Amino acid sequence: MKNHVLRPLLVVLGLVALVLLIRPFYVPKDFGVHERGYMYGWYRQGNIEDWKKVTVKYQGSESCKDCHPDKIETLSQSPHAIIQCENCHGPALEHPSAPEKLPIDRTRGQCLRCHTKLSYPTSARAGLKGIDPGSHNPDTECVSCHNPHKPSLEGLK
């Protein structure tokens, strides 16, 4: 083999050997796939208790239906039915006691996360109705014209 091929090959082989030598010291012994196979993928079994201590901030739309049945009903008949309430209203961890009212993000950027027109058709978001934020009322918040709980044309205020 010529030197211009042999040298890079030796460097790559050396790096692979180095990684294999260092890995047992760097990766915890309990890291890997455990008794349930690939159901949870690769994780560190000793870390399970740490994750059990993490407080879940998001409650899901189910927690909203008792106090806000009208909003849930209206939203369930709209294209936004697949979106959890907390995507726009924020985490409802201790709601309704603290905060009494969840903050609502009424900024244009909130809507544009999903409704900016995409120029490539292979994205799943390409199926959403998109706008060009530079030409579609650029200085106006979306909620001043559109009701997010009724996002169809009838939802115009």
Task: Give per-residue pLDDT as tens, 95-136.
Answer: 877 777 887 888 888 888 888 887 777 766 666 778 888 899
Give CA–CA dist 44/28, Å, rounded: 8
pLDDT digits (tens, 9 = 90+) for 79-100: 788 888 888 888 888 887 777 7
Q: Where are the alpha helices (DSSP H) in 3-116?
A: 3-26, 48-52, 69-76, 86-89, 108-115
Instruction: Decide: 134 and 142 in contact? Cβ < 8 Å.
Output: no
Give CA–CA dist 60/31, Å, rounded: 31
pLDDT at site 13: 96
User: What integer best gives the mean pLDDT of the chain?
Assistant: 82
| pLDDT at position 11 over 90 | yes
Instruction: For the full predicted model, state whether its pTM sits above 0.75.
Output: no
